[in-house]
Structure 1
Amino acid sequence: MTRLSIPKVTPWLPLLITGVCLGYSTTVITRLPWWALFFIAATWVGVGLKLRWGRPANARYRKVWPWSLLPISLLGIYVYLADSFGNVDLGAVFFHLQAGMAEHGGAGKMLLALTYVLTVSAVLASVTWLSRHDQRWRLSERFFAIALLAANPLLYGIGQRSAAIVTDDGAWLDRRYIEPPNTELADPPNLLLLYLESIERTYANEAFSEAYADLSALGEGGAVFEGVRQMENTGWTMAGMIASQCGVPLMPAGLLHDSQFEPLSKVVPGVDCLGDVLAKRGYRLSFLGGASTQFAGKGLFYRGHQFSTVKGKEELMPELEDPDYINSWGLYDDTLYDVTASEVRRLHEEDDGPWAVVNLSIAGHAPSGFPSQTCLNRQGEFDGQDILYSVECSARLARDFIERLAAEGLLDNTLIVVLSDHLTMRVSVWDQLIALDRDNTFIMLGDGISPQRVQRSATMLDVFPTILDAMGLTLNENRAGLGASLLSSQPTLVETHGLETLNERLREETALQQRLWEGLAPQRREQEATAEQVTETPTDQANEIEIMR
């Protein structure tokens, strides 16, 4: 009887695993189409077989552990982040680790993370096998390890942030910070601030058909701001809200946090934000969001900045008629808008001074969104992937909500702000988006807001003073925080210095970080005492005489 033999899988299998993973990583990090991974993998395997990788002449086996195991693992982390979110923002990684990631709705991300762990483990096993069976790999892979470390954007970013502690000038941004105004309001308007998760204005481009049409129609009755770009540390939900309500980028507490192994107890307590400014003027403040307020310090931020009503998934679910009508993050938008309408009615009926309501929807959340049943009934079947379906849903629900409140007479003397919290992360139309000049949604409606299109080079930092200006507050030099009112002629920091310069300065900044987080006043005073010794270049000083007073 002929004995069955098991075909040899080496070196085919190690070469195939490393080749496919190399190809996939390349397509994730670059703009190459997904099918390019097959060409890269085939080329890798072909070269490996031609050079007899893993089965060289005069093979000498040695049980070694490759130098590249750690660098490969770190690169795997970066590729996972890039695959999940598109652009990797280290600030987001650090902040979420410190503020907490409990009660998140990213179950799909957890499955993807597990897949990555298994895949990277297979790559590590393959590289180990090749190094042990091929002396050429043993000699060369240590240099490969160094190259991987040097090329990893994750480590490059960490190195840049670490270098900030020895920078010559770590207070460039802090010197440009302006405290919010102390002036009073003669006829304080109400404020309705709607954050539409990831619904950037870029979707208004004709490449995305009519997905943004309802927001475009809404903007015809008010001011539409074009050119609100995204600087670093403003590109995720909490960062976008803090930038637009405090006028500062969200610099994580990092080593400035007193208890490194405990969650944050406050979020940016060192600066006055929109809630603080309005609370001083007698406003009743409410925040309503479909997701958990425990995620990423959201509840801590709003409660710590004077919001008396802060409700998310945990607080709102007991009030639902159908507790099963939820998604992995929390409430669907149609439910959330109904709850928000009830809150506005309550505040209106109490008639106990002006109110401000902040709403954070979820329909546009990457990668595919969470369209509600109302949208399914109107738009037809959802394929579970097309983000434009969810964009259309989010835009229509926001427009319907505003028109409903207006029809009930609840928006008299009310400033309405419709805003994306940040640019979207990786979605089904990612390649089309990144080929365009991207900017955030920023629309203002209300009494005294004449229909207009304002084209300015700005960031989310400029939203904060623009809202205060539109509400009738007199600003110091038309500025607040690091932003400038887009209703004024005051140049923004982007117009003066450019976005790249801002990002470079942010990576070196330490004084502003100390301003944001509590317990750092002594360090700030020391820096302020020596600030006059800092010499700026003529470019730094241009158009900023008022700022440096």
Structure 2
Amino acid sequence: MSFFYPLRMIFNFHGRQRIIYILSALFAAFVFKFYDSKDSKKKSLFLWSLIPVIFLAVYVFVFAVFGAFDFGAVVYHLQSGMNGGHPDIRGAKVFYVALSLVGFLLSLLYLRRHDPRFHYVDISLALAFVAANPIVWTAADFYLSPPDPTLTNFYTAPPKQLPEGVKKKNIIIIYAESEERTFADINHGAETFAEMSEVAASGIEVQGIRQLANTGWTMAGFVSSQCGVPLQPRGLFSENNFAHQASFFAPIDCLSDVLNANGYHTEFMNGGDSHFAGIATFVDGHKFAFRSGVEDYRAIAGDYLNVWGLYDDTLFEQAEKRIELLGKQDKPFAFSMATIGGHAPNGHVSRTCRQKLEQGELSEMQFAIKCTGYLIKTFLAVLKQKGLLENTIVAIQSDHLIMENEHSGELNAKRRMNYFSISGDGIEPAVIKREAAMFDVFPTLLQVLGMELPGGRAGLGVSLFAKEPNLVETYGQDRLDGMLRRDWMLSRKLWGDASS
């Protein structure tokens, strides 16, 4: 029963399928007959399959909590740690995975001690578990694949200077946690995504931005859209804590580097901890003039905090104050901020939304998505009323597709896509439908700010306004995912580290 539990979890058996799972487990138990050999001298407590089973259990546990996940995210967080992060881990899942692990190992140990034949079963299972673990063969694919310079050669460094005579515009970039566009297409989607759709209608919305390998978690979404590259793993054996490292993607120029060179003031405000997942190292290393996070606003928030940090209404209140200050400066600014409210599995609904919105038939997760949209819409309305959106571009995007939650089944039945809209001075409402990636956002932002890009290219991206095909359109998502997952040459270029 223990052995079959992970299979039931991964394939999400339910109803009659669950009965099949139980019967299969019972059948397996009867098949494994054993005898108590009194003269057997092999009473070893060692199991060859112990370590492979533990590693497989780790994979099953991560799958149970986050759903389908990116191997790059695992490697990245092995490097950066989880300081300041608080995944919502459900006790039942922890219990069942632990029970499955312990039950299976104890059963195997009992059989091993009572039947010499299971010594060979133990060895065979150990080899099978190593081969079956997705983390093992994905890591092998990454490290053992032959070098392919395609993506590395495609990389295009962004121009450093705006053309003469270009009027410098401010830009506000809002990373809306897990606010993926697909929410509009599921049951109650029109209500859930009403505010986000309304915001998109005021400018240009791009429909078709897919989530590629190494762009599917918060830091990866931030880096890919601001640097035009996926967050390639640096390697399993590099320094384990970015707080102790001097650089993050130092060999390449990102949006903040380019804008800083053109006289911009750049800031990043995070609803969570500024040091989570290497954010502070990246921000400090790429010329952001100022950064802030939950640690800077604890006194203001008091006990009104969620497990990740600030509620979104508190975050937008502080963002409004910062933008008011920036608007009084004599230089253009680029202000980026990242919300928390839509974080899976249930979201974190702000009290403002509890007071002003009706939840109705929306789930708690849907209500959290709606709440973030409502707060973004209100935030922009206040800025406009105060005259703070003049000569300003506003870009809004989901940082990544939402992770495991109660709507995963509905979402996975659709062609999932990230949200991206851009509005402001000189932008006419339109809808662009094309296959693209998060790193295509980078050249799009540069172009809308007036930068001239040959072929619309910067980083690995191609501007969403350009006629030239981007990498997703050229290779297709599946093939491009494979190229990204095994491209250690690109990793070496981005990190500037021979150990990558």
Q: Same fold (TM over 0.5)?
A: yes
Q: Deviations over 1:348-397 (max 9, x none)?
A: 123x1111110100011111111111112234579997311211111111
Which of these residues, 317, 323, 327, is aligned with residue 338 of structure 1?
317
Which of these residues, 265, 285, 290, is aligned with residue 271 of structure 2?
290
Q: How far off is 1:146 after superposition?
A: 2.3
Q: How far off is 1:336 after superposition?
A: 0.2
Q: Which runs of 5+ in 2 are unaligned?
A: none
Structure 1 position 188 matched with structure 2 position 172: no
Which of these residues, 263, 272, 277, is aligned with residue 253 of structure 2?
272
Over 3 Å counting, the alpha-carbon distance change for 1:256 and 1:105 in structure 2 is closer
CA distance in 2: counterparts of 1:438 and 1:107, whole angstroms? 23
Which of these residues, 267, 287, 291, is aligned with residue 306 of structure 1?
287
Q: Check conservation: 2:192, 2:362, Cα contact below 8 A.
A: no
Q: How far off is 1:239 after superposition?
A: 0.6
Q: Check conservation: 2:78, 2:240, Cα contact below 8 A.
A: no
Which residues in structure 2 correspond to 1:164-203 (within 5 Å)? 164=145, 167=146, 169-184=147-162, 186-203=166-183
Which residues in structure 2 correspond to 1:55-70 (within 5 Å)? 55-56=34-35, 62-64=42-44, 65-70=46-51
Which of these residues, 294, 304, 318, is aligned with residue 325 of structure 1?
304
Which residues in structure 2 correspond to 1:187-226 (within 5 Å)? 187-209=167-189, 210-226=191-207
Over 3 Å counting, the alpha-carbon distance change for 1:34 and 1:418 in structure 2 is farther
CA distance in 2: counterparts of 1:261 and 1:342, whole angstroms? 30
CA distance in 2: counterparts of 1:182 and 1:328, whole angstroms? 40
| SS of alignment partner, residue 438 of structure 1 | coil
Q: Report the residue type matching 1:324 in the other structure.
A: D
Q: Check conservation: 2:441, 2:461, Cα contact below 8 A.
A: yes
Which of these residues, 188, 205, 209, is aligned with residue 228 of structure 1?
209
Q: Check conservation: 1:463, 1:483, Cα contact below 8 A.
A: yes
Q: How far off is 1:97 after superposition?
A: 1.6
Q: How far off is 1:478 after superposition?
A: 0.8
Q: Check conservation: 2:188, 2:362, Cα contact below 8 A.
A: no
Over 3 Å counting, the alpha-carbon distance change for 1:254 and 1:111 in structure 2 is farther
Over 3 Å counting, the alpha-carbon distance change for 1:377 and 1:120 in structure 2 is same
> Whose RCO is larger (CA < 8 A, sep 6+)?
2
Q: Check conservation: 2:143, 2:488, Cα contact below 8 A.
A: no
Structure 1 position 426 matched with structure 2 position 404: yes
CA distance in 2: counterparts of 1:456 and 1:376, whole angstroms? 36
CA distance in 2: counterparts of 1:342 and 1:35, whole angstroms? 56
Per the alignment, residue 393 of structure 1 pairs with 371
179-188 vs 239-248, which moves further: 179-188
CA distance in 2: counterparts of 1:362 and 1:415, whole angstroms? 22
| SS of alignment partner, residue 453 of structure 1 | strand
CA distance in 2: counterparts of 1:132 and 1:191, whole angstroms? 68
Let me know the Cα RMSD of the aligned residues.
2.6
Structure 1 position 509 matched with structure 2 position 487: yes
Which of these residues, 465, 475, 481, is aligned with residue 443 of structure 2?
465
Over 3 Å counting, the alpha-carbon distance change for 1:144 and 1:135 in structure 2 is same
Q: How far off is 1:44 after superposition?
A: 1.2
Which residues in structure 2 correspond to 1:69-80 (within 5 Å)? 69-80=50-61
Q: Deviations over 1:51-102 (max 9, x none)?
A: 4x46548687642333322221111011011111112212111111212211
CA distance in 1: counterparts of 2:95 and 2:74, whole angstroms? 18
Q: How far off is 1:155 after superposition?
A: 1.0
Q: Deviations over 1:494-548 (max 9, x none)?
A: 101112222222233233212211455xx99xxxxxxxxxxxxxxxxxxxxxxxx
CA distance in 2: counterparts of 1:407 and 1:212, whole angstroms? 24
| SS of alignment partner, residue 455 of structure 2 | coil
Q: Check conservation: 2:75, 2:236, Cα contact below 8 A.
A: no
CA distance in 1: counterparts of 2:256 and 2:194, whole angstroms? 31
Over 3 Å counting, the alpha-carbon distance change for 1:401 and 1:384 in structure 2 is same
Over 3 Å counting, the alpha-carbon distance change for 1:72 and 1:410 in structure 2 is same
Q: How far off is 1:126 after superposition?
A: 2.2
| SS of alignment partner, residue 270 of structure 1 | coil
Per the alignment, residue 449 of structure 1 pairs with 427
Over 3 Å counting, the alpha-carbon distance change for 1:121 and 1:58 in structure 2 is closer
Structure 1 position 125 matched with structure 2 position 109: no
Q: Which runs of 5+ in 1 are unaligned?
A: 1-18, 525-549
% of aligned pairs identical?
34
Over 3 Å counting, the alpha-carbon distance change for 1:114 and 1:98 in structure 2 is farther
Larger radius of gyration: 1
Per the alignment, residue 376 of structure 1 pairs with 354
| SS of alignment partner, residue 8 of structure 2 | helix
CA distance in 2: counterparts of 1:484 and 1:252, whole angstroms? 22
Q: Check conservation: 2:242, 2:278, Cα contact below 8 A.
A: no
Over 3 Å counting, the alpha-carbon distance change for 1:115 and 1:362 in structure 2 is same
Over 3 Å counting, the alpha-carbon distance change for 1:81 and 1:466 in structure 2 is same
Over 3 Å counting, the alpha-carbon distance change for 1:58 and 1:174 in structure 2 is same
Over 3 Å counting, the alpha-carbon distance change for 1:208 and 1:384 in structure 2 is closer
Per the alignment, residue 387 of structure 2 pairs with 409
Deviation beyond 6 Å, 4+ runs, structure 1: 57-60, 258-262, 381-385
| SS of alignment partner, residue 286 of structure 1 | strand
Q: How far off is 1:134 after superposition?
A: 3.7
| SS of alignment partner, residue 245 of structure 2 | coil
Q: Report the residue type matching 2:302 in the other structure.
A: P
Over 3 Å counting, the alpha-carbon distance change for 1:201 and 1:261 in structure 2 is closer
CA distance in 2: counterparts of 1:41 and 1:137, whole angstroms? 23
Per the alignment, residue 486 of structure 1 pairs with 464
| SS of alignment partner, residue 477 of structure 1 | helix
TM-score (normalised: structure 1): 0.84
| SS of alignment partner, residue 178 of structure 2 | coil
28-37 vs 227-236, which moves further: 28-37
CA distance in 2: counterparts of 1:368 and 1:516, whole angstroms? 35
Q: Check conservation: 1:59, 1:135, Cα contact below 8 A.
A: no
CA distance in 2: counterparts of 1:402 and 1:519, whole angstroms? 42
| SS of alignment partner, residue 328 of structure 2 | helix
Q: How many residues align?
A: 495
CA distance in 1: counterparts of 2:160 and 2:249, whole angstroms? 20
Which residues in structure 2 correspond to 1:10-159 (within 5 Å)? 19=1, 21-33=2-14, 36-37=17-18, 39-49=20-30, 51=31, 53=32, 55-56=34-35, 62-64=42-44, 65-106=46-87, 108=89, 116-117=97-98, 119-159=100-140
Q: Deviations over 1:163-219 (max 9, x none)?
A: 13xx1x332211000011133251011101000011111111043432111111111
Over 3 Å counting, the alpha-carbon distance change for 1:35 and 1:274 in structure 2 is farther
Q: Check conservation: 1:22, 1:41, Cα contact below 8 A.
A: no
Q: Report the residue type matching 2:222 in the other structure.
A: M
Structure 1 position 356 matched with structure 2 position 334: yes
Q: How far off is 1:119 after superposition?
A: 4.4
Q: Report the residue type matching 2:327 in the other structure.
A: H
| SS of alignment partner, residue 207 of structure 1 | coil
Q: Check conservation: 1:100, 1:296, Cα contact below 8 A.
A: yes
Q: Deviations over 1:117-138 (max 9, x none)?
A: 4642333222211222244544
